């Protein structure tokens, strides 16, 4: 596997990560301005905070060309389940890596719901990502109806179960994002208690089959995160960071998010957390 930098933090170091998922938004000039505003922030240099920008894939190379050493990493919003061949419009994980991505969002609920991605397809995308040297960030979460019916754990268990057959390499690389569908883009974030409970459940579910992996697993939350709740949700034990959609697109809003997250964290000293920079 072609890897030019560590993609997981050193053992025992639990820094926090903000993942910016722009979805189908932005322009090239907007990207330039965003990167300039975010990567210069004192807050993300003096705290163990990592920022991963997932712009539309056509701008990965442009973004890479504007990154300074260290502060920001790049992710792709979606990769193909195939590695090469007659699959018009697809982008392989290896191509994403070549364009500068080191992370891949996999199985976002919008992909599952609007583009018909099933659990097995999500698993194949995670495998392809890991094989190409990307960290797969697999998104899982229940809908409002499933939640009302008390089926949250059953749904999460099914989505996690589809990952059981991943190679050891992919399992070791895997990050999980808990993204309840009822919370995405709705302005209704999970409460701290709800998130604490679900995060603990996910970790114990993983621990039932692999305790070491559960301990090492980086677990994220996404759904209506903004500067007003990032400090509380991001600071929870067992939550390694936040996946942000709407509030991550404008530079000002992202800067406020970074500051909010940093507010709840100890200073680490500039550069002390280079292991976190994917």
- What's the per-residue H, E or C state across 224-276? CCCHHHHHHHHHCCCCCEEEECHHHCCHHHHHHHHHHHHHCCCCCCCCCCHHH
The active-site residue, picked from 61, 108, 110, 205, is 108
The active-site residue, picked from 30, 179, 197, 205, is 179
Judge whether 179 counts as a catalytic residue: yes
Q: Of 54-62, 70-78, 165-173, 222-230, which segment contacts ligand PGA by CB under 6 A?
A: 222-230
Q: Using CB under 6 A, which of 184, 202, 206, 261 touches ligand PGA?
A: 184
175 beta partners: 137, 218
Judge whether 108 counts as a catalytic residue: yes
Q: Could you give the C-alpha distances from 234 to 80, 176, 214, 255, in angstroms and in order? A: 30, 15, 19, 15
Site residues for ligand PGA, window 39-98 (CB under 6 A)?
none
CB of 223 to ligand PGA, least distance (A): 5
Q: Using CB under 6 A, which of 6, 161, 185, 269 touches ligand PGA?
A: 185
Read off the DSSP letter of residue 179. -
Nearer to ligand PGA, 51 or 225 (CB): 225
**Which residues, 6 or more positions from 251, have their beta carbon under 8 angstroms from its beta carbon?**
30, 33, 34, 37, 38
Rounded to 5 degrees, φ, ψ at 230 are -65, -35
Q: Of 37-45, 118-126, 216-224, 263-271, which segment contacts ligand PGA by CB under 6 A?
A: 216-224
Nearer to ligand PGA, 18 or 94 (CB): 18
138 beta partners: 106, 176
Q: Of 147-155, 156-164, 191-199, 239-247, which segment contacts ligand PGA by CB under 6 A?
A: 239-247
Binding mask 127-166 for ligand PGA (x = CB under 6 A): ----------------------------------------
Distance of CA 180 to the CA centre of its chain: 14
Tell me which residues are annotated as active site: 108, 179
């Amino acid at each position: 596997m072609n890897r030019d930098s560590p993609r997981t933090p050193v053992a025992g170091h639990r820094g926090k990560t903000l993942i910016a998922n722009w979805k189908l938004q932005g322009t090239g000039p907007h990207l330039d301005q965003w990167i300039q505003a975010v990567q210069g922030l004192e807050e993300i240099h003096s705290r163990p905070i990592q920022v991963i920008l997932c712009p539309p894939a056509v701008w990965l190379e442009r973004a890479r060309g504007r990154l300074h050493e260290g502060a920001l990493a790049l992710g792709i919003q979606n990769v193909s389940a195939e590695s090469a061949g007659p699959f018009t419009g697809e982008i392989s994980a290896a191509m994403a890596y070549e364009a500068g991505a080191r992370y891949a969002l996999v199985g976002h609920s919008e992909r599952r719901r609007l583009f018909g991605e099933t659990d097995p397809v999500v698993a194949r995308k995670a495998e392809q990502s890991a094989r190409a040297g990307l960290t797969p960030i697999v998104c899982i979460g229940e809908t409002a109806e499933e939640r009302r019916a008390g089926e949250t754990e059953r749904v999460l268990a099914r989505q996690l179960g589809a990952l059981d057959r991943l190679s050891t390499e992919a399992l070791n690389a895997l990050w999980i994002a808990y993204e309840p569908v009822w919370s995405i883009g709705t302005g209704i974030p999970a409460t701290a208690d709800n998130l604490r409970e679900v995060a603990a459940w996910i970790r114990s579910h993983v621990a039932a089959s692999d305790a070491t992996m559960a301990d090492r697993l980086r677990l994220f939350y996404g759904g209506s995160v903004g500067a007003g709740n990032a400090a509380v949700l991001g600071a929870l034990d067992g939550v390694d960071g936040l996946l942000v959609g709407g509030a991550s697109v404008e530079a000002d809003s992202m800067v406020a998010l970074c500051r909010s997250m940093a507010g709840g964290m100890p200073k680490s000293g500039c550069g002390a957390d280079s292991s976190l920079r994917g």
